[in-house]
Amino acid sequence: MTVRLLARSSRSRAGRRLHVVPPSHPLPEPMHPAERRMRGAGGPDDRACYSCGCGFVFVAPVSTTVHCPHCDAGQAW
């Protein structure tokens, strides 16, 4: 924030008017501590745990088309 003196007068300093100039670009909002931790850890991990009908449980990237690495069966979304 910048403060600029508007008018110079012979009056005392207390009588001068100040004008507040807003910044030319919006200031970023302060980051929430949980968001700061998540960003510091590299962001969210978009992986999910799936269990197949053959009994195999595996972790794979979140997707609508996931196949079991054991029997290659498509998983229901």
Averaged pLDDT, 22-32: 80
Q: What is the pTM of this model?
A: 0.44
Looking at residue 77, its pLDDT comes to 65
Q: Please write the tens of the pLDDT for every residue from 40-72.
A: 888 777 899 999 999 999 999 988 889 999 998
Please give the helix or strand (H or E) that residue 18 lies within, else none: strand 18-21
Taking CA 27 as the corner, what is the angle to CA 22 and CA 31, rounded to the nearest 5 degrees?
155
In Å, what is the CA distance from 30 to each residue of 27, 34, 35, 36, 55?
9, 12, 10, 10, 46
What are the φ and ψ backbone dihedral angles of 41, each rounded to 5 degrees?
A: -85, 0
**Does residue 11 have a pLDDT over 60?**
no
- Interacting residues of 13 by C-beta distance below 8 A, sequence separation 6+: none
Checking if the pLDDT of 18 tops 80, the result is no
